[in-house]
Amino acid sequence: MTASVSDSRLQRRFELWDANGDGSIDRSDYEIEARRILRSFGEHETSPKGRNLVSAYLSMWDALADMTGVGPNGSVTMDQFLDAATREVVDGGNAGFDRTLRPTIEAIVNIADTDGDGEVNPTEFQSWLRATGVDPREADKAFARIDTDGSGALTVEELVVAVRDYHQGKHDVALLGR
């Protein structure tokens, strides 16, 4: 896959975070997605898991605000986001991705793992992706491709690799709503 695939996925990621459609994202957009995920699992944002997820999302925002120089109360345009995300997530490779996004994926898995077995089953995965706008049929297809060990459940590592490879344009498993 090419850089344009990665760019289009990062653009889609920006559009999904831009909850009010004003062409910029800010701290509240990250809070909105975190709350949407919490609602999809019936988790309250004041619970330990809820606080952890919101904190992980806000840490992502803080990193972006720092990389773009807008500060914690500023807003980021698509061009600024694309530049920063490309530097950190694509050009930064595994280390950049892990630094910025791994804690959020781990926090989502902590919420999604409703049965407490440390992994995400197909139903839990479908709930997670539905919260981000992915069609349930696409979520089932994505699950089958991400479950690289064929265990019927997704580990944190399988999910980190899948999300990283998706955003870096290395595979076409649908992980964002269209």
Question: At which residue do the structure tokens 């109360």 appear?
Answer: 73
3-state SS, one letter per residue, for 124-166: HHHHHHHHCCCCHHHHHHHHHHHCCCCCCCECHHHHHHHHHHH
Given pLDDT bands bounded at 50, 70 and 90, which one contains residue 175? low
Q: Which CATH architecture has domain 3-167?
A: Orthogonal Bundle (1.10)
Average pLDDT value for the chain: 88
3-state SS, one letter per residue, for the chain: CCHHHHHHHHHHHHHHHCCCCCCEEEHHHHHHHHHHHHHHCCCCCCCHHHHHHHHHHHHHHHHHHHHHCCCCCCEEEHHHHHHHHHHHHHCCHHHHHHHHCHHHHHHHHHHHCCCCCCCECHHHHHHHHHHCCCCHHHHHHHHHHHCCCCCCCECHHHHHHHHHHHHCCCCCCCCCCC
Q: What is the pLDDT of residue 17?
A: 86
CB 94 within 8 A of CB 164: yes
Among candidate residues 110, 111, 113, 120, the one with its CA nearest the CA of residue 159: 120
Q: What is the pLDDT of residue 1?
A: 40
Where do the domains of the chain lie?
3-167
The answer to whether residue 135 scores a pLDDT higher than 70 is yes
Average pLDDT on 52-63 reads: 96
Q: What is the pLDDT of residue 2?
A: 47
Residue with the larger pLDDT of the pair 107 and 135: 107
Question: At which residue do the structure tokens 């609602």 appear?
Answer: 39
| pLDDT > 70 fraction of the chain, expressed in percent and rounded | 94
Average pLDDT on 67-90 reads: 94
Average pLDDT on 102-125 reads: 92
The answer to whether residue 154 scores a pLDDT higher than 90 is yes
Average pLDDT on 83-98 reads: 88
CA pair distance 71, 62, nearest whole angstrom: 8
Q: What is the pLDDT of residue 20?
A: 86
